[in-house]
Structure 1
Amino acid sequence: MSDVTIFAPSPTLTVTVEEHGGEPDIHVHAGGQGVWQARMLLRLGASVTMCCTLTGEVGRMLRHLLEDEGIGVAGLERPGKGSAYVHDRRGGERRVIAETEGEPLARHDLDELYGLTLREGLASGLAILSGPAGDEALPADTYRRLAADLREGGAKVIVDLAGERLDAALEGGVDVLKVSDEELTRGGFVTNGSVAEIMTAMRALHGKGAEAVIVSRATDPLLILDAQGFAEVTQPRMSVADTRGAGDSLTAGVAAGMVRGERPRDAVVTGAAAGALNVTRHGLGTGDADTIAKLRESVTVREILDDSAAHISQPVTGHVSPDGLAALAEPEDER
């Protein structure tokens, strides 16, 4: 039994050509949202099982790559064309040579994958529902059913989704929703991107079925809404090598904290540190636990005074929740 189960319907075989010493340097890895989340979870000391489809030659290669990294694989093997890409980075930027999203899941394949995910997710007690490689891979309603059934069985559910898949998962109910401000804009939840507007959208997402909502905002502080109210989470600003995968590292960090029994507001500190470290690296979902632990010391969490009726947010320097007032009342040597 793993600490975390990740639903990753269609992982991607990635082939990247770089240059080293004037010669082509070819790298072959497993990739995709669920893989990057799993990779960071492993760095943070959590064991992971990935529930996925392994399609054709690509799928056979992916199983070996995933298992070599230490990721448990509950895979549905099937014939056909799997998700893969070939990118050339010798010029300093990614140039697409070839890519495919793979083939959609047939009804019977989806039933088998659904059953695998329920079995593993209920055993773990914590599941991350990640997106597929392409929009046509499986029906969005799958996320509603999975979220509802996993929680009915007592598992906690974390999602990092957008569009129809996000709407479906919220209908099923989730414990933690992680979403970016860009995804909120594309989804029509916000228009001007102000903190007040984002907070209004977060209240709406909470009302739709998310117990806690985390919004990432590129280099700006994260925002979180949970049972304690709103808070602003400021992560250290690092030199950027590649921003891709930072959001998935954030999600993985939150999951790793929850495995240790932390509330989302506490777990988001590890998530913020993991996301900050990931942007310094070209390997997505990578980093080391010691550096992340050190970066946690630079993450600050500040409660936000929220006037819901006026839709106005006002950051405050002190703690204004009951827990915060109790903390302020403690003697200094007891904090």
Structure 2
Amino acid sequence: MPDIAVFAPAPSVTVTVEDRGMDGVGTAPEIHVHAGGQGVWQARMLRRLGVSVTLCCVLTGELGRVVRGLLEGEGFRVAAIERDGHGAGYVHDRRDGERATIAATQGDVLGRHDLDELYGAMLREGIDAGLAILSGPDGDGVLPADTYRRLAADLRTNDVRVVVDLAGDRMLAALEGGVDLLKVSDEELRADGLLEGDDLGAILRAVDELRRRGAHDVIVTRAGRPFLVRNGSRTLEITPPQLQIADHRGAGDSLTAGTCAGLAVGQSLREAVVTGAAAGALNVTRHGLGTGDMETIARLRRSVVVRELPGDGHDPDESHGRISPDGLAALAEPAPAPEEDR
């Protein structure tokens, strides 16, 4: 089974309240408690695709102890630094169909000693795995952005493939260190002042700038529209199947996870992004973030359309997202499905 190390600095306890219909009686509240945060949602989808995951994180105080139990219950290996203080978490009320935040905290800032220990753990686990995902905490001030520059550089120096799913200062810092694959949205690029305009040419110019700054390959998502992949000199347009949306949150993290699952078993980036597109498409049909099943994702791959855009030295080619039987077989049988994250 392939292994991936995920840098998830400050995972959260997530509490979501929903309505549960009761025949003849009306409604009653239903409460869901899970571990959450970007890295956790990515790790959850990786597990669904049969990938072994090590989560590198700091677990803080009472909430941190709860998070550890939840993560280990899902089958993750947890390389954690434990400390006293206030952890991260939120309470959402979704009884009206939309998420309303009742309370939320990003937790305490990481101190120097905790950050040093976390850095060492991620370096160690990344080297062992050979592929690392760098994700961020919910809060802006939890750890210095420069941490991502140093991690990206040191991991790649040790022959670790580095995938980054970040924006803002963290993304820019990681690019300084150098990354193998960057995934970012057009909205995030616009907010960072790296994208002017909405046309294809403007996005490709932004991609060129990201590559100049240190990204080897780049994925740019565009909400509700086909996403773009710059793979070496080629530019691909990926159209996922259009499914009914239950909750759009987590689709981007599932795309990242599905792509990394493919890369971990030796798929080319072109093949791997088809797996990612199918995983992201399935996730929006579900209330659980980073959830889905391998069999459905494999079938949805058939509906993913890959089109190579002209103008970069290659003939345009449109094809469905099928890969060889060996490529599909390389994705191991999925681990037992945990209760969905809400």
TM-score, scaled to structure 2: 0.89
Q: Does 1:275 align with 2:284?
A: no
Cα RMSD between the aligned structures? 1.6
Q: Which position in structure 2 is the counterpart of 1:8?
A: 8
Deviation at 1:207, TM superposition (A): 1.2
Distance 1:225 1:206 in 2: 9
AA matched with 1:6: V
Distance 1:81 1:306 in 2: 53
Q: Flag structure 2 segments of 5+ consecutive residues without an equivalent.
A: 320-342
Percentage identity across paired residues of the two chains: 61
Q: Does 1:140 align with 2:145?
A: yes
Aligned pairs for 1:75-154 (under 5 A) are: 75-154=80-159
Cα separation, partners in 2 of 1:64 and 1:271, compared to 1, 3 Å: same
Cα separation, partners in 2 of 1:162 and 1:305, compared to 1, 3 Å: same
Secondary structure of 2:241's match?
coil
Q: Given the alignment, which residue of 294, 313, 316 partners 1:289?
A: 294
Higher mean alpha-carbon deviation, 190-199 vs 27-36, is at: 190-199
Aligned pairs for 1:1-335 (under 5 A) are: 3-20=3-20, 21=22, 22-306=27-311, 316-317=316-317
Secondary structure of 2:211's match?
helix
AA matched with 1:11: P
Cα separation, partners in 2 of 1:77 and 1:222, compared to 1, 3 Å: same
Distance 1:229 1:114 in 2: 34
Distance 1:85 1:318 in 2: 44
**Structure 1 contact 2–49 (Cα < 8 Å) conserved:** no
Distance 1:48 1:2 in 2: 9
Higher mean alpha-carbon deviation, 42-51 vs 93-102, is at: 93-102
**Structure 1 contact 246–276 (Cα < 8 Å) conserved:** yes
Q: Deviations over 1:213-233 (max 9, x none)?
A: 001111211100011411111
Q: Deviations over 1:64-102 (max 9, x none)?
A: 000101111001000000001111111211111111010
Secondary structure of 2:121's match?
helix
Deviation at 1:24, TM superposition (A): 1.1
Distance 1:143 1:296 in 2: 32
Deviation at 1:296, TM superposition (A): 0.4
Cα separation, partners in 2 of 1:277 and 1:315, compared to 1, 3 Å: farther
Cα separation, partners in 2 of 1:291 and 1:2, compared to 1, 3 Å: closer
Deviation at 1:191, TM superposition (A): 2.4
Deviation at 1:300, TM superposition (A): 1.4
Distance 1:2 1:137 in 2: 30
Deviation at 1:263, TM superposition (A): 2.1
Deviation at 1:317, TM superposition (A): 4.7
* Structure with the larger RCO, 1 or 2 (CA within 8 Å, 6+ apart): 2
* Residues paired across the two proteins, number: 314
Deviation at 1:143, TM superposition (A): 0.1
Deviation at 1:318, TM superposition (A): 6.2
Distance 1:199 1:17 in 2: 42
Deviation at 1:282, TM superposition (A): 0.6
TM-score, scaled to structure 1: 0.91
**Structure 1 contact 234–299 (Cα < 8 Å) conserved:** yes
**Structure 2 contact 236–307 (Cα < 8 Å) conserved:** yes
**Structure 2 contact 234–312 (Cα < 8 Å) conserved:** no
Higher mean alpha-carbon deviation, 87-96 vs 143-152, is at: 87-96
AA matched with 1:19: D
Secondary structure of 1:306's match?
coil
Distance 2:107 2:285 in 1: 30
Distance 1:90 1:318 in 2: 43
Cα separation, partners in 2 of 1:6 and 1:307, compared to 1, 3 Å: closer
**Structure 2 contact 250–283 (Cα < 8 Å) conserved:** yes
